[in-house]
Chain A
Amino acid sequence: MKKNHYILSNVQLSNGTSVDIEVKDGLIKTVAKDLSGADVIDCSGLIALQGFVDLHTHLREPGFEQSETILTGSKAAAKGGFTAVHAMANTMPVADNAAVVEQVYALGKSAGYVQVQPIGAVTLGLSGTQLADLGKMNASQAKVTVFSDDGKCVSDSLVMRRALEYVKAFGGVIAQHAQDPALTVGAQMNESELSLKLGLTGWPGVAETAIIARDVLLAEQVQSRLHVCHVSTRGSVDVIRWAKARGIAVTAEVTPHHLLLTEELASEYNPLFKVNPPLRTQDDVLALREAVADGTIDIVATDHAPHPADSKDCEWGEAAFGMVGLETAASIVKTTLVDTGLIDWVRFEEVLSTNPAKISGLTDQGQGIQVGSFANIALIDPATKFKVDAVSQSKSSNNPYLGMDLSGEIMHTIYRGTFTVKNSEIQNLGAN
């Protein structure tokens, strides 16, 4: 059997048309009806979308391999329909120089399940004070264009301004973790009536919104490009909407968990629901969903944050922030946005593939299911409804969705023509 030449028959594209897709040597060769001349894989009932691109993934390697490795994170990504992930810089050592980003890039390549595109730190050691080797990381083999101190906010206004200015030289973008550190000392959950009742230190929405407001004005001042990570409040959405109307070059992301989960889940002090920024209110959730639909928020990014079991099997105040999310992301977007009628599959494909690829400048991803493009394809069965179980490709099990009902299952994932997931099963690439 020729594995590098096959036909996906009877797929539905995001625009609703039904076609066959011929894949040969990693590329899309033909998109037309009733193709033949190669192995035919019946995809009736499945929707074929550009492979998903995650702009916000914690792969934890190097340094925290007990939580995740580039290989296990890549497999989890493939399982979720992703063909590219952006590896956040808060590793040990920090990805603040060319050597680390090239190592991450190379490990991603050898894993082979997805394109692993490193994100570089904005500041040296995430210190927030001195710029990292931004230009060298861009000039490295990893060709870093997205820079972020994620996990920490670039809170110093001058450092943020300089970073925004500096990356203009090579078309880079600063992805900000918007959190005023002074307003969030010891913060544990959304500041609200519930946090007061539970006696958990509040993380007020203004700590996010105020930083976003400052940053969009800085981006306007120096005419540079800002990306806002994990937007979590209605107020932040309003500021971004204002900035876009003003013509400021800002893009924004929302996580699957902020589209689905609310602060009430903290009521029993179960650390699986401890995340940063915290789960907010239903009103915020609705505002975020609407913002994806109306274009204020450009992308959904997972903020996949694996942690070892011990760091969640403890008191809330000691527990780590973060939750895994690669394998459930697409199903959550379908459940919260498609099934509710807020977006169609065209918008789905934009927010999970086209737009994140564009923000990062990836030329091999999110380029449309069209002749000549790399065959990076996610095939989703929209009819499947399922209960989330504990089976996972990730090394970590800090999954807040266990037992929840979602719809839309990834049936196949194809990365550069190779099936990384087939019939919902992760494929062993070594055997190919």
Chain B
Amino acid sequence: MKHLLSISDLHRDSAISLLNLAVEMQQVNSRDVKKLPALNGRTVANLFFEDSTRTRFSFELAAKRLSADVVNFTAKGSSVSKGESLKDTVQTIEAMGVEALIVRHHHSGAANTIANSAWSKSAVINAGDGTHEHPTQGLLDALTIRQRLKGTSDKGDLSGLRVLIAGDILHSRVARSNLLLLRLLGAKVGIVGPATLVPDDARILADFVYFNFDEALSDNFDVVMMLRMQRERMNSAFIPNETEYSTLWGLSESRFNLLSTDTLIMHPGPMNRGLEISSAAADSPQSAILDQVANGVAVRMAVLYKLLAQETSLK
């Protein structure tokens, strides 16, 4: 079966062709009747073992615009809260005739476990697993960067572009998928944050590593991608407190004003305004944050189309 578990399931050309397919899907989304018959009669399940309203909506819309039937499973108030195992949950849902599972899970590797197991035959799409990966987020970010910086009709890669990812790299599945994909597409990617959240081991994932935000920002990046800061990180001594974090690592209005007016500002959402990002940056014309959300639907349509309608391996 064909799955999308990690960006490492893709090579350069298959990633570009997914982005190009997503561009075609964007045209569907701009029509009055936003629907293609591609997955008519097919059934897709959103398996959300962890809350995420926006990602679930995005996948649900993507599947519905391809005319698939969509069922939603959320862990809260379900059999899982009564102690049901992943295996039993998946087997139960598949027994109802589901062909694709879109899995969001708090454990890293949960989507891999389902895809590799003897108890699932479905196509599995990883919609975020623990602190591992969120491959469709990587794809939608790559599409957003390409369209904003290379033009909407560009069909190529991201070579020549420099992207800075700032914040909690250690715990961010968004960062992992972006680092893998943006570099696969030829961009140079830097990471910056406190050393507790940008550990030495992270060097293998990036082209540049910084431990000073201002120094990193002065290095002429084309894109600055801010990551969400989980407030509970303070409890494990990763950071001293919110004020120090926002002072040292937040994209404040003054830091934002020092950037070139061409620098693209991104954030995977949901934002902590005033903590990692200022409203001045988030709401500026340079911000691509709402483009990211819009592109999410198109990218997920492309992934579902490839896996289910064409039944082709992504690689």
Contacts and interface: CB of A to CB of B under 8 A. Distances in A.
Interface of A: 185, 188, 191-193, 195-202, 268-270, 310, 313-318
A200 B170 CA distance: 10
Given A269-B113, A314-B85, 9 more contacts: A196-B201, A196-B202, A199-B133, A268-B112, A310-B87, A313-B119, A314-B86, A315-B109, A318-B107
Contact of A199 (B85, B87, B173): B173
Given A268-B116, A269-B113, A316 B201 contact: no
Nearest to B112: A269
Contact of B132 (A198, A270, A314): A198
Give the interface residue-count category, chain B: 20 to 34
Nearest to B172: A199
A197 B87 contact: no
B117 A317 contact: no
A200 B109 contact: yes
A193 B202 CA distance: 7
Contact of A195 (B107, B112, B201, B236): B201
Contacts of A310: 85, 87
A200 B108 contact: yes
B204 A193 contact: yes
A185 B176 CA distance: 22
Contacts of A199: 108-109, 129-133, 173, 176
B199 A196 contact: yes
Contacts of B236: 185
Contacts of B117: 313
Interface in B91-110: 105-110
B146 to A, nearest CB: 25
Contacts of B112: 268-269
A315 B204 contact: no
19 contacts: A192-B201, A196-B199, A196-B204, A197-B204, A198-B108, A198-B109, A199-B131, A199-B132, A200-B108, A269-B112, A269-B116, A313-B87, A313-B119, A314-B85, A316-B107, A316-B109, A316-B113, A317-B109, A318-B107
Contacts of B70: none
B314 interface: no
Contact of B108 (A268, A270, A316): A316
Interface in B161-193: 170, 173, 176
B205 interface: yes
Given A196-B199, A197-B176, A198-B132, A315 B205 contact: no
Contacts of A318: 85-86, 107
Interface string B103-147: 001111110110011010000000001111100000000000000
Nearest to B106: A317
